[in-house]
A and B are shown apart, each in its own frame.
Chain A
Amino acid sequence: MDPDTAIGGPHGRFPSTQLSLLEAVATGLPNQALERVAALYWKPVYRFIRHKFHRDNEDAKDLTQSFFTAAFERDFFARFDPAKASFRTYLRMAVERFAASQHEAAHRQKRGGDVAFEPVAEQAVTTGSPEEIFEREWQRQLFALAVDDLRAHCDGCGKQLQFRIFEDYDLAAGERPSYSALAARHRIAETSVTNHLAWARRMLRGFVTDRLRGVTAGERELHQEMRRACR
């Protein structure tokens, strides 16, 4: 089993502002836009390449890195037309074209020889089409970044208790504890558990919105992406 890379995980620190993607580009902050796009999309692109083109871990990492490098060197943002598709769709199609051209180039070099792509069976067990995997990873990375933002925010403003309750309940891997058990564990009233959770969830939604605002072209696309992210 060839495990996926840990690069592009949710703990990378990337700047977060209120500017939309195109505003950031238009106001001379393309690096900032690039950072936000890479923070959110590195892993979805990597997983998409792995599953769509049957690449092994190292190949997929290299190809992902090459894609971001090449895309951002070549007027990537300027070619994005929000009237035609969401930025997420635009980016995925750009990845597909890029990876296909790389695949073709590699195939030409090795024509007649062995093209050693990893068999599908050896990849991590994942169901769904590469496009579905891409969207699912986009959601996963988006929420992972938002949870990081929430943690940092709570640390910064002395709301560690709120985050711990959120962590104990909403991030619980198995069975979730009852509110009364949480109240007893943290020695607070049960109503405080409810209030702290409501606060944390509201903040989480805010950070999800903020992350998406950084990679969408405007309010309309932002709302559409929010609907795809939060169900």
Chain B
Amino acid sequence: MSLNDREPSDRKPSDRELSDSVLDHLRRVAALPDLTGTRYELEREIGRGGLGVVYRARDRQLDRQVALKVLDSALAGEAQLIARLEHPGIVPIYEAGTLPDGRIFYAMKLVAGARLDGYLAGDPSLAERLRVIRRVGEVLAFAHARGTIHRDLKPQNVMVGEFGEVYVMDWGVDAVAGTAAFRAPEAVLDWRSDIYALGGMLAFVLPASAAPALRAIAAKAMSADAAARYADAPALLADLERFQDGLAVEAWSEPLWHRWRRFGSRNAVLLWLLAAYAGVKLLLFLLRNL
């Protein structure tokens, strides 16, 4: 039978349509993970991304809170991917499993702290901002060395814990396309795309008064041409370190006056001693010849 054969009146009319509030409720409860048969008890939703939802849950056996991430079954690789990465800057996974409806979940450490975008609202110092970026860069360098790329690095995926620890979250899988402001322009993402995102993060955390050398480091990392970016995360970190040590950075060919000023501020004590020495010598010379 095709629609040609069927008159509208052939269809059974609805006696009740779902109201907006009932529909919203059904959409929400249909998304809730059914944790029957697991050791976890759902508490509340704490985060949501393009690929999954993170809940706060209680581990009944160990009587502790965990973060429980629920993903489509097609994304099962994410848990394995993160489990392979053991690093202080990557949230450890306690357990992974499959829900009765086929979705997968993994329980991980519940990090108490703030997302980087929220953390910046507390107006931390420049040194502290750079410390966070350097920690993120170290995690990236570790992951890249193991053949893993993040794909969606952004301030919302970085947590700063209550003791200052920095975690890089939401490690990507193939389905991730990145977030516009931090996504490299190339169609196929690779480790250099993470360098681009790290540059975007650096630009994001810099205060308005940041030195041009720091802005140049961010700009180099965010070059549209992937080949013009830093070769890897350690190269970017090395340039940041050079800046913090008062040295010239690779990303910026500074003007001569700026080089002298940097030399002056880096060798202030020596210059003051030299000036004092010259002053004393001049004074002695004047005293002898008067």
B3 CB contacts on chain A under 8 angstroms: 34, 38, 65, 68-69, 72
Which residue of B3, B8, B18, B21 has the most chain A CB atoms within 10 A of its CB atom? B3
A206 engages B31 (CB within 8 Å) = no
Could you list which residues of chain B lie within 8 angstroms of chain A, going by C-beta atoms? 1-4, 8-9, 11-19, 21-23, 25-32, 34, 36, 50, 72, 74, 100-101, 175
Complex-state Cα separation, A155 to B30, whole angstroms: 20
B175 CB contacts on chain A under 8 angstroms: 220
Question: How many chain A residues touch B (Cβ–Cβ < 8 Å)?
Answer: 44
| Chain A 183-210 near chain B by CB (<8 Å), digits 1 or 0 | 0000000000001001001101110110
Having A139-B27, A144-B18, A206-B101, one finds 13 other A-B pairs with CB under 8 Å, namely A8-B11, A9-B11, A11-B12, A31-B1, A69-B3, A69-B4, A72-B2, A140-B23, A143-B18, A144-B17, A170-B29, A201-B32, A204-B29
Interface check A226, CB cutoff 8 A? yes
In the complex, which residue of chain A has the Cβ closest to the Cβ of B99?
A202
B4 CB contacts on chain A under 8 angstroms: 69, 73
- With A69-B4, A223-B74, A231-B28 already in contact, the answer to whether A198 and B11 are too (CB < 8 A) is no
Complex-state Cα separation, A181 to B36, whole angstroms: 23
Interface residues of A, dominant DSSP? helix
Complex-state Cα separation, A231 to B30, whole angstroms: 8
Complex-state Cα separation, A198 to B19, whole angstroms: 22
From residue A142, how far is it (CB to closest CB) to chain B in Å? 9
- With A11-B13, A31-B2, A72-B3 already in contact, the answer to whether A208 and B8 are too (CB < 8 A) is no
Interface check A10, CB cutoff 8 A? yes
From residue A140, how far is it (CB to closest CB) to chain B in Å? 5
B34 CB contacts on chain A under 8 angstroms: 198, 201-202
A5 CB contacts on chain B under 8 angstroms: 8
- With A10-B18, A69-B3 already in contact, the answer to whether A229 and B27 are too (CB < 8 A) is yes
Complex-state Cα separation, A68 to B5, whole angstroms: 12
Could you list which residues of chain A lie within 8 angstroms of chain B, going by C-beta atoms? 5-13, 31, 34, 38, 61, 65, 68-69, 72-73, 139-140, 143-144, 147, 170-173, 195, 198, 201-202, 204-206, 208-209, 219-220, 223, 226-227, 229-231
- With A143-B26, A170-B25, A231-B27 already in contact, the answer to whether A198 and B36 are too (CB < 8 A) is yes
In the complex, which residue of chain A has the Cβ closest to the Cβ of B4?
A69
A204 CB contacts on chain B under 8 angstroms: 26, 29-30
- Identify which of B11, B19, B72 contacts A7 (C-beta below 8 A): B11
Complex-state Cα separation, A196 to B29, whole angstroms: 13
- Identify which of A6, A38, A172, A173 contacts B13 (C-beta below 8 A): A6
- With A31-B2, A143-B23, A144-B18 already in contact, the answer to whether A13 and B12 are too (CB < 8 A) is yes
In the complex, which residue of chain B has the Cβ closest to the Cβ of A205?
B30
Complex-state Cα separation, A195 to B31, whole angstroms: 16
B15 CB contacts on chain A under 8 angstroms: 9, 11
Complex-state Cα separation, A219 to B175, whole angstroms: 12
In the complex, which residue of chain B has the Cβ closest to the Cβ of A8?
B11
In the complex, which residue of chain B has the Cβ closest to the Cβ of A65?
B8
B72 engages A223 (CB within 8 Å) = yes
B30 engages A173 (CB within 8 Å) = no
In the complex, which residue of chain B has the Cβ closest to the Cβ of A38?
B3
In the complex, which residue of chain B has the Cβ closest to the Cβ of A10?
B14
- With A65-B8, A223-B74 already in contact, the answer to whether A201 and B30 are too (CB < 8 A) is yes
Complex-state Cα separation, A31 to B1, whole angstroms: 7
B32 CB contacts on chain A under 8 angstroms: 201
- With A72-B2, A140-B23, A198-B36 already in contact, the answer to whether A9 and B12 are too (CB < 8 A) is yes
From residue B151, how far is it (CB to closest CB) to chain A in Å? 17
From residue A229, how far is it (CB to closest CB) to chain B in Å? 7
B19 engages A34 (CB within 8 Å) = no
A12 engages B12 (CB within 8 Å) = yes
Cross-chain pairs A/B with CB under 8 angstroms, 7 sampled: A9-B17, A10-B16, A11-B14, A34-B3, A65-B3, A143-B18, A205-B31
A69 CB contacts on chain B under 8 angstroms: 2-4
